[in-house]
């Protein structure tokens, strides 16, 4: 059975799904601004990230944001569908990750208190977004919402969705970007302004968090549209996308 057929026949209830996407940056604006012990630990990590033997840990420092131990979250955009309308909301902060995560956790707890069937959905969410959020919450001493706490759950009890995993057809060596899938499914590209590789520069050098938030929102809208495409459903028209403050 084809994967798309399986998705379509699995009875996806879009009103049970909270779509999300995150944007992250290194914890410090540049390598030399980090404390000595932090740099020592990053140096060890950077050894595996060098493209050339002559590279210095500072040369690969922009990649620090990918790792929850060295990075931090500056934006979480979420989306949910109700009555064929897509509602989008963002949590963002340039300097207060704990406040951002606390407000996000409160929203998730509220959603789950009203809907015990709630599922999360992100692109590459199981390898990146979901664990990254969970680790940064622990580091900031924020209690994990139940839907993020998998410590006592069996694999089949974790029902969160990952559009990249769904597209893999069980092929674990395959990585397909959200941008590529948006193109082949004729969904407006979320990368029409910046992409993930530009977030570090946009945040620390151009000081343009608003631009990053818009990019994050485009990503989460694309994830929602992609899952609809997987279920043979029409895309949600732009006039039916509402941004909540």
List of E strands, the chain: 17-26, 71-82, 85-92, 119-122, 161-162, 241-244
Q: Is residue 146 part of a domain?
A: yes
Q: Is residue 130 part of a domain?
A: yes
What pLDDT shows up at residue 4? 44
Q: Domain limits at 95?
A: 3-27+70-244
Residue pair 219/129 in contact by the 8 Å Cβ criterion: no
CATH number at residue 82: 3.30.420.10
Q: Kindly report the number of other CB atoms within 10 A of residue 180's CB atom.
A: 12
Which structure tokens are listed for 8? 């379509």
- Residue given tokens 């990585």 in the structure block: 175
**What's the rounded Cα separation, in Å, for the pair 210 and 23?**
12
Query: Which region holds residue 138: left if phi is over 0, alpha if psi is between -120 and 50, else beta?
Result: alpha
Q: Is residue 51 part of a domain?
A: no
Q: Is residue 105 part of a domain?
A: yes
Q: Is residue 34 part of a domain?
A: no
Q: Is residue 110 part of a domain?
A: yes
Q: Residue 19 in 3-state DSSP?
A: strand
For residue 128, the 8-state DSSP code is I
Q: Is residue 55 part of a domain?
A: no
- pTM for the model stands at 0.92
Q: Is residue 159 part of a domain?
A: yes
What pLDDT shows up at residue 5? 42
What pLDDT shows up at residue 169? 85
pLDDT tens, the chain, 245 aa long: 344 444 444 568 999 999 999 999 999 999 999 999 999 999 999 998 888 887 899 999 999 999 999 999 999 999 999 988 999 999 999 899 999 999 999 999 999 999 999 999 999 999 999 999 999 999 999 999 999 988 877 777 788 999 999 999 888 777 899 999 999 999 988 777 788 889 999 999 999 999 999 999 999 999 999 999 999 999 999 999 999 98
**What's the rounded Cα separation, in Å, for the pair 213 and 40?**
32
Q: How many domains does the chain have?
A: 1
What pLDDT shows up at residue 10? 52
């Amino acid at each position: 059975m084809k994967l798309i057929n399986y998705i379509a026949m699995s009875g996806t209830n879009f009103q049970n799904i909270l779509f999300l996407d995150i944007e992250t940056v290194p914890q410090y604006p540049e390598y030399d601004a980090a404390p000595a012990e932090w740099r020592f630990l990053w140096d060890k990590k950077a050894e595996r990230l060098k493209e050339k033997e002559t590279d210095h840990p500072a040369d690969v420092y922009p990649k620090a944001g990918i790792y929850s131990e060295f990075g931090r979250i500056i934006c979480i955009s979420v989306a949910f569908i109700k009555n064929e309308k897509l509602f989008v909301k963002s949590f963002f902060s340039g300097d207060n990750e704990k406040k951002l995560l606390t407000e996000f956790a409160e929203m998730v707890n509220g959603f789950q208190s009203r809907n015990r069937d709630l599922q999360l959905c992100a692109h590459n969410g199981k390898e990146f977004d979901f664990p990254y959020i969970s680790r940064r919450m622990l580091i900031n001493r924020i209690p994990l919402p139940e839907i993020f706490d998998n410590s006592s759950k069996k694999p089949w009890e974790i029902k969160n969705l990952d559009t990249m995993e769904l597209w893999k057809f069980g092929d674990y060596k395959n990585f397909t970007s959200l941008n590529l899938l948006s193109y082949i499914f004729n969904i407006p590209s979320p990368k029409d302004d910046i992409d993930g590789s530009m977030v570090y520069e946009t945040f620390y050098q151009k000081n343009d968090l608003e631009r990053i938030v818009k990019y994050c929102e485009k990503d989460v809208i694309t994830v929602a549209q992609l899952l609809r495409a997987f279920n043979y459903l029409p895309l949600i028209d732009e006039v039916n996308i509402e941004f909540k403050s």
